[in-house]
Amino acid sequence: MEYFLGSVITMVAMFVATKLISSEKNVIKENPFRYSQSHIHEIISPLVPNLREYKKIIPRQSRNQEEKTNIKVVIFDNKAYFVRDAKFYCAEMHGTEIDGANATLVDTMGMDKVQLDKMLFIMDQLRDGKKNDSGDSRDQ
């Protein structure tokens, strides 16, 4: 009889312990934080340096060839302006074609202030983004 009473008490203790343990496992703890890529970026963004400042231009054969062969042209008042061999040229436009054979050097010595400001604006447009001009989307 004492073995029977001991086994019943053990069974009741096991049943109660099982219910207590399983009730703790079934409780789902909801995590209030949402770990996403944008959330992590928002947290660490003050610690990460701006990568655009550290962006290196890697010299490549294709980029060097493009800089040697292509000329940047600004079209203004039906005239094409470009720099070739460190000289500032002006050429007439015929429709959509540039008459490069009859290009003339721009003489800035005999210009008044308005014409000189116009030429400086055109020169700034030609020199804008000289390094790796076509490699950046400028999506800022």
Instruction: Tell me whether residue 111 is in a domain.
Output: yes
pTM given for the model: 0.48
> Cβ(123)–Cβ(114) under 8 Å?
no
> Cβ(93)–Cβ(79) under 8 Å?
yes
**Mean local confidence (pLDDT), 19-45:** 77
More confident residue, 32 or 76: 76
Name which of 136, 132, 140 is nearest 67 in CA terms.
132
Instruction: Tell me whether residue 75 is in a domain.
Output: yes
The number of folded domains in the chain is: 1
Whole-number Cα distances in Å, 46 to 33, 42, 43, 113, 139: 20, 8, 7, 47, 20
Helix (H) or strand (E) holding 75: strand 73-76
Instruction: Tell me whether residue 82 is in a domain.
Output: yes
Instruction: Tell me whether residue 108 is in a domain.
Output: yes
The reported pLDDT for the residue numbered 50 is 76
Domain membership of residue 119 as a residue range: 65-127
Q: What is the pLDDT of residues 9-19, one digit of tens each?
A: 999 999 988 88
Instruction: Tell me whether residue 21 is in a domain.
Output: no
Instruction: Tell me whether residue 17 is in a domain.
Output: no
Instruction: Tell me whether residue 115 is in a domain.
Output: yes
The reported pLDDT for the residue numbered 133 is 46
